[in-house]
Structure 1
Amino acid sequence: MLSQLRRIVQDVAQEPVLNKALAGLVSNVKRALNTECCSVYLADYQQHFTLMATDGLNPEAVGSISIGFSEGLIGWVGQREEPINLAQAHLHPRFKVTPEVSEEKFSAFLGCPIIHHRKVLGVLTIQQGENRVFSEDEESFLVTLGVQLASVLVNAEMRQSVSQSSTQQKVTGQLQGLPGAPGIAIGEGYVMEPSSDFDDISLRKTDDPEKELSRFYKAVKITKAEFNRLAERMSAHLPADALAIFDVYHQLLEAASLGDEIEAQIHDGWCAKSALKRVVEKFARQFDDMDDPYLRERGTDIRDLGQRVLNHLLDTEQRHHKLPEKVVLVAENVTATMLAEIPRHQLVAIVSLKGSVNSHAAIMARALGIPAVMGLDELPLFHWQEQLLIVDGYRGQILMAPADAILAEYQTLISEDAQLSAQYLSEIHLPAQSACGGRFSLMVNAGLAIDLETSHPSHTDGIGLYRTEYPFIVRTRFPTEAEQVELYKTVLATQPGKGVVMRTLDVGGDKPLPYFPISEENPFLGWRGIRMTLDHPEIFLVQIRAMLRANIGHGNLHILLPMISDLSEVDEALRLIKQASFEVADELEGSEIQLPKAKVGVMVEVPSIMYQLPELARKVDFCSVGTNDLTQYLLAVDRNNPRVASLYDAMHPAVLRALHQLCLQSQALQFPVSICGELAGEPAGVLILAAMGYDKFSMNNSNLAKIKWLLRRVHLSELQLLLPEILACQSPKQVRQHVQRFLDQKHLLNQLRA
């Protein structure tokens, strides 16, 4: 049963033409369940289910018969979002007679919805002439198939248009993702570090078979040489019969085996990757179906061989791709090292197929002030290469190869955005205060591109969060103490007389070090932040010593400890900081140089520490709220997971109430507190925080001018009147509605976005 399901789904995924894929689907399901009819209906934008394929009903009805979302048994399945199993369907009051489909000979009916992310994509049905209820096994098969088909069918039309495209492989269409960073950009897709799995390869045609043949021959030649090296290396460790597998691989690559088939596919118009995929999967499936266990294992060999050839095809392809003038970086997961490889003036936007609104990639995009869209993994990675893209970071939309009229509209929006930015910047030199004179401290988050992030040092109150992990991430080894000293000196020197809050190394979760891999089942609840560095005092002490040495002559260092969940972690960190201070002071003994005392603070991002604030205030000098992780842990939502992205929201009433309580408690304790999470850089977020009583915010440099401009136009008394309404809300949507209504009444809403 499981192998049948897998085979049916694979066949749908591998067929580039949607109608052919669905036709094969209904025939395979009819055969697998030994039923008389199988049909599939897909939902459209006009709120209809259209018959897309059938094996048993009138084939002329395909594509022409549509059933409303509230009509018939098909509509009922969609409405109830669960299977409907009837022995005599024609007697049911919801049954709708549709003469064109010719289903009068069928009595038994089983319909199952195809659902993706709470959205009904379609309905899969089987029918039988006999009056009977379909068995539990049959129903289970159809339900399981519907679940697996959902991820394959989503964006199926987009996949089809790509496979039918020309040599330039352009595709028009719109994709909906998650808004990662605000703004709009137009550029060309550039895929970095593409995965090399056959599942990511969708079939494409070519107009240049000779070029594709040449690429295939080159990949085969490299693969054969690779096998020769492997065989030579293993000859001293493996017996001759085990080494024979390399001879088998060589034979399979010869023209008489797989080679001829792949060449024929290329001559038929398929590109080299597509031809390789079609042939490898065809032969692998044939071996999988064999009864003999030894022959079945050869299917694995075929796949391994094909994977190696595919890797070399992709390597040569990637090397030939020229960096476009305006780069839209596309990757499975965008990392800091990827960003470092692209000149800043060429990078216009980020598309991360994985990740969510507050994943590390989205935070990096906001730090750079470029739009980003996340969570678009339904479309394979290779489809993005060299595509003209409009990236709408406000709405989380991607437009591929847009028409000229649409392109012109978005260029106008980009121009309007630029005008608004100029409007904000025209007031950046003015004091950070409310319309009634209430003062605020506005600082910047930094670490990714210090020159860009500190471009207005005279108009800010310092660096509220310097993420020290970025210099670690972009290296191939741990930076030395001397390297860290020079780096931290540069950062401290950008803010003379103003505080610089340096967070100690915060890696793990979605920020791995390439030379210090951490593999965990649940990394966000695992060995990250202070937990890792306290377990490795040799790393922690080197970093603290470097910070303290860099602070000599500046005296503006504040040390921030991340991921604190227990007071014992604070005690241990303070002990090590004291030890590092003694070590640096010993180096200065006998000289006239004095070691400045650095303030030490704690990040409030793990909920447990919120309930230990009085004890914390007696141990450290300040605290800084990391709203990104605090939201993640309060709501139990992995912020990188697009499947639960809709649940992650810093405007959630529970998060806002927790922040309000934290502010009241810190004020009662006279314990300095600031906000360094992304919420401080959002217009709605900063207004709510200001209403609560927070007055110290750190944000991305790209947001600072807008936030200062906004705060200068509101009265604190007005915000304080708004606060009870906000805290009484039951959903993030209600919170946003209240803030938008307030901004609209102040005639500010249309001035915050083009």
Structure 2
Amino acid sequence: MLGQLRRIVQDVAQEPILNKALSGLVSSVKHALATECCSVYLADYQQQHFMLMATDGLNEEAVGQVAIGFSEGLIGWVGQREEPINLAQAHLHPRFKVTPEVSEDNFSAFLGCPIIHHRKVLGVLTIQQSAERVFSEDEESFLVTLGVQLASVLANAEMRDAASRSSTAVQQATQLQGLPGSPGMAIGEAYVTEPASDFDAISLKRSDDPEKELALFYRAVKITKAEFNRLAERMSSHLPADALAIFDVYHQLLDAASLGREIEEQIADGWCAKSALKRVVERFARQFDDMDDPYLRERGLDIRDLGQRVLNHLLDTEQRRAKLPEKVVLVADEVTATMLAEVPREQLIAVVSLRGSVNSHAAIMARALGIPAVMGVSELPLLHWHEQRVIVDGYQGHILLSPSEAICAEYQRLISEDVALNARYQQEIGLPSQSQCGERFKFMVNSGLAIELEYTNAQFTDGVGLYRTEFPFIIRNQFPTEQEQVELYEKVLAGYPEKTVVMRTLDVGGDKALPYFSIIEENPFLGWRGIRLTLDHPEIFLVQIRAMVRANIEHQNLHILLPMVSDLAEVDEAIRLIRQACFEVSDELGVSLPKPKIGVMIEVPSVLYLLPELAAKVDFCSVGTNDLTQYLLAVDRNNARVANLYDALHPAVLRALYQLGQQAKALQFPISICGELGGEPAGVLLLAAMGFRRFSMNSSNLAKIKWLLRRVELADLELLLPEVLCCHSPKQVRLQVQRFLEQKHLLTQLRA
């Protein structure tokens, strides 16, 4: 039964045309359950009905013609209840709706199961039979399991179908919904980097240049054959002749008389090389999978391995030949710092990451660069994006593929308005950092991601509230030397003379991996990261601290910040190592070193209850709202499936921050905000109302936040705060802040 389920889902996923996929689905389910009828209805939320999309047993002429309202009939009832409905005499049920066009008079037994994706009913799958009986628990379980597995496949199939139509002459834009990762809007051409080299990532496409596609295929085959020759030669001294024969089999399969001929025919029929390869390899592999003989079934793996190698070389050739567009919308499965560094800054206008969430590191990097980003857009295979014209709306999390000229013109107008608003903020960046009532604030920048941008407003800041030292480590292929770190840190300290520069010690792990120091964990965000890693490797920690204090000799503006602290013993050990490093440098150079102030990041919930003890050990603390939110809500901020649960404006997070601020004030313990919340309008208003006065944010947000706080009275914010702290949901919090901004006539001045 499990094999049948898997085969049905695979067949639907591999069929590029939605109608054909659904037609195959109902026939396969009817056969698997030995029932008389199977049908599938898909939801149309614009029309508020379920449309019959495929059937094997009802009148086929009704397909695409018969619609059942969301509140009508048994189909509507399944959708409303969001659970299976199993009836022996369906026609006698009060919710039964007579629909003559479908010709279902002969059927009595009915089992309907909803297909649900991300809490949204996509459709209803039904089976029917003439005998009056309740379908068995096994049959119901099969249909429920199939519905669960089909949900994401059907969502992707519908999106692929719409995207394919949008690339035809009709030019109808396809809208995708992701998560708003970085504000702003942009229009450019999608550039896919590091595409996933597996057949699941390939969406079937046609080509009007078969000669070009054949040339690509022949080149990939030639490289693959040469690769097999090298492998066979290398293994000849280790393997017997019969084992080496597999390489000869691979050669024969690639020849024109076998797989090669089939692929050539597919290309001649109008498919691109990748699509032709996918269609042929998957068809042959499935044929082997269906064979009874275990030895022959294993040959399906050989076919897939062979196809995978050819596909890798096809993709490699395309990637190297691809020309970087003038306006790059960088699209990747998961955007990394290295990918961003490979695109010239003047050409990079937006980022789309198929994985990740609002405060994943890809989103934080995009905000640091001041470019729009949308995260968690997994509906389309990665390679479908390549060379498509794209509109990225980082405010709403919308993406438009192949938009019309009229839509582009409207977005261009909004982009111009955005530019004008930012120019207005920039005009006041040199004015005092204070509220309308004269309360002073300290504004610092988060640095380390986009150095050239961060120095732009250096003279208008109070320094660096968070310098992320990990990125020089991430973009190298080995640990940087002490001297390399000294030179780097000295530039940063020199860039902010007589202003505080807070350098965070190496914070890797979680979603920040070093290419030369692999960390494989089942739950990396709760694992070996931050201070936990560097204390386990004092040789890394000591070298970094030595480099920091050496760089600080001439400038004397260094503060050291410890990340991911959860225990007081970690603080004690880190302070001991810092003292050791300072003593070593002082002794080696024969100079008296200025003692840097030491701080702790508040991002692990346990530290919220250790503030008095921390205040006795260190000089300051800085709140990392990104991780604190993640840990308080138990939500992986990189997981798009639970992204709607991650929200720094959650009442629990706000109440924790309020209590933290009050406790720090009572202890007279210096505290600042360095997480993304302090760079957002709603966040900074509420934090200011709580008593926070030091904020560190991306340089791109600095002018806007300063402009906003100069237009509010703290007394008004303090009246808003109790209402917000009594809210039950982030949505209520946003409505309260929005109402406040509307009353102050500020809302329309914060975005186009």
TM bucket (normalised to shorter chain) is: over 0.9
SS at match of 1:229: helix
2:333 aligned with 1:335, yes or no? no
**Residues 170 and 464 (structure 1), Cα distance of their counterparts in 2 relative to 1, 3 Å cut:** farther
Provide the residue aligned with 1:394 in structure 2: 395
Provide the residue aligned with 1:466 in structure 2: 467
Contact 2:166 2:402 in 1 (8 A): no
SS at match of 1:618: helix
Deviations 1:553-590 (Å, cap 9, x if unpaired)?
A: 1000000000000010001100110000001101221x
Provide the residue aligned with 1:683 in structure 2: 681
SS at match of 2:410: helix
Give, in angstroms, the shift of residue 242 of structure 1.
1.8
Provide the residue aligned with 2:613 in structure 1: 615
Provide the residue aligned with 2:13 in structure 1: 13
Query: Partners in 2 of 1:519 and 1:58 — Cα distance?
Result: 54
Deviations 1:306-337 (Å, cap 9, x if unpaired)?
A: 00000001000111110000000000000000
Provide the residue aligned with 1:699 in structure 2: 697
Query: Partners in 2 of 1:629 and 1:278 — Cα distance?
Result: 44
Deviations 1:123-181 (Å, cap 9, x if unpaired)?
A: 01010000011111111111111111111111433312444677999873110011000
| Aligned AA (2:476) | R
Query: Partners in 2 of 1:666 and 1:230 — Cα distance?
Result: 64
Provide the residue aligned with 2:256 in structure 1: 255
Provide the residue aligned with 2:26 in structure 1: 26
Provide the residue aligned with 2:666 in structure 1: 668
SS at match of 1:67: strand
Contact 1:163 1:205 in 2 (8 A): no
Provide the residue aligned with 1:174 in structure 2: 175
Q: TM-score, normalised by structure 2?
A: 0.99
**Residues 414 and 234 (structure 1), Cα distance of their counterparts in 2 relative to 1, 3 Å cut:** same
**Residues 753 and 85 (structure 1), Cα distance of their counterparts in 2 relative to 1, 3 Å cut:** same
Task: Report 1:143-542 matches (<5 A).
Answer: 143-163=144-164, 172-542=173-543
Contact 1:445 1:466 in 2 (8 A): yes
**Residues 421 and 25 (structure 1), Cα distance of their counterparts in 2 relative to 1, 3 Å cut:** same
Give, in angstroms, the shift of residue 59 of structure 1.
0.9
Query: Partners in 1 of 2:337 and 2:676 — Cα distance?
Result: 18
- Decide which of 717, 722, 728 is 1:719's aligned counterpart: 717
Contact 1:162 1:204 in 2 (8 A): no
Contact 1:41 1:124 in 2 (8 A): yes
Give, in angstroms, the shift of residue 487 of structure 1.
0.4
| Aligned AA (1:14) | Q
| Aligned AA (1:107) | S
Give, in angstroms, the shift of residue 240 of structure 1.
2.0
Contact 1:691 1:723 in 2 (8 A): yes
Query: Partners in 1 of 2:581 and 2:261 — Cα distance?
Result: 68
SS at match of 1:7: helix
Query: Which stretch has the larger CA shift, 149-158 or 49-58?
Result: 149-158
Query: Partners in 2 of 1:347 and 1:428 — Cα distance?
Result: 25
Query: Partners in 2 of 1:362 and 1:628 — Cα distance?
Result: 11
Deviations 1:270-314 (Å, cap 9, x if unpaired)?
A: 111111111111111111111111111001111011000000010
| Aligned AA (1:49) | F
Contact 1:187 1:348 in 2 (8 A): yes
| Aligned AA (1:707) | I
2:750 aligned with 1:734, yes or no? no
Task: Report 1:38-49 matches (<5 A).
Answer: 38-44=38-44, 45-49=46-50
Contact 1:167 1:207 in 2 (8 A): no
SS at match of 2:213: helix
**Residues 334 and 170 (structure 1), Cα distance of their counterparts in 2 relative to 1, 3 Å cut:** farther
Contact 2:159 2:379 in 1 (8 A): no
Query: Partners in 1 of 2:187 and 2:609 — Cα distance?
Result: 47
Contact 1:440 1:696 in 2 (8 A): yes
Deviations 1:430-486 (Å, cap 9, x if unpaired)?
A: 011010000000100010121211211121110000000111111111111111001
| Aligned AA (1:474) | I
| Aligned AA (2:92) | L
Provide the residue aligned with 1:644 in structure 2: 642
| Aligned AA (1:359) | S
Query: Partners in 1 of 2:168 and 2:26 — Cα distance?
Result: 32
| Aligned AA (2:377) | L
| Aligned AA (1:468) | T
Query: Partners in 2 of 1:629 and 1:166 — Cα distance?
Result: 40
| Aligned AA (1:620) | V
Give, in angstroms, the shift of residue 3 of structure 1.
1.3
Give, in angstroms, the shift of residue 401 of structure 1.
1.2
Give, in angstroms, the shift of residue 260 of structure 1.
1.0
Provide the residue aligned with 1:743 in structure 2: 741
Query: Which stretch has the larger CA shift, 165-174 or 490-499?
Result: 165-174
**Residues 169 and 339 (structure 1), Cα distance of their counterparts in 2 relative to 1, 3 Å cut:** farther
Query: Partners in 2 of 1:456 and 1:155 — Cα distance?
Result: 44
Contact 2:221 2:310 in 1 (8 A): yes
| Aligned AA (1:676) | C
Contact 2:163 2:401 in 1 (8 A): no
Provide the residue aligned with 1:35 in structure 2: 35
Give, in angstroms, the shift of residue 267 of structure 1.
1.0
Query: Partners in 1 of 2:266 and 2:153 — Cα distance?
Result: 24
SS at match of 2:572: helix
Contact 2:68 2:76 in 1 (8 A): yes
Provide the residue aligned with 1:113 in structure 2: 114
| Aligned AA (1:294) | Y
Query: Partners in 1 of 2:20 and 2:634 — Cα distance?
Result: 42
| Aligned AA (2:630) | Q
Query: Partners in 2 of 1:695 and 1:507 — Cα distance?
Result: 29
**Residues 564 and 169 (structure 1), Cα distance of their counterparts in 2 relative to 1, 3 Å cut:** farther
Contact 2:156 2:379 in 1 (8 A): yes
Query: Partners in 2 of 1:594 and 1:347 — Cα distance?
Result: 46
Q: TM-score, normalised by structure 1?
A: 0.98
| Aligned AA (1:22) | L
SS at match of 1:115: strand
Query: Partners in 2 of 1:625 and 1:391 — Cα distance?
Result: 31
Contact 1:42 1:49 in 2 (8 A): yes
| Aligned AA (1:9) | V
SS at match of 2:617: coil
SS at match of 2:258: helix
| Aligned AA (1:215) | L
Query: Partners in 2 of 1:175 and 1:385 — Cα distance?
Result: 15
SS at match of 2:257: helix
Query: Partners in 1 of 2:173 and 2:149 — Cα distance?
Result: 26
Contact 1:162 1:169 in 2 (8 A): no
SS at match of 2:47: coil
Provide the residue aligned with 2:137 in structure 1: 136
2:580 aligned with 1:582, yes or no? no
Contact 1:329 1:349 in 2 (8 A): yes
Deviations 1:579-632 (Å, cap 9, x if unpaired)?
A: 00001101221xxx5422110000000000111111111110000000000000
Query: Partners in 2 of 1:241 and 1:307 — Cα distance?
Result: 23
C-alpha RMSD of matched pairs (Å): 1.2
Contact 2:167 2:402 in 1 (8 A): no
Query: Which stretch has the larger CA shift, 722-731 or 450-459?
Result: 450-459
**Residues 335 and 175 (structure 1), Cα distance of their counterparts in 2 relative to 1, 3 Å cut:** same
Query: Which stretch has the larger CA shift, 130-139 or 448-457?
Result: 448-457
Equivalent residues, number? 751
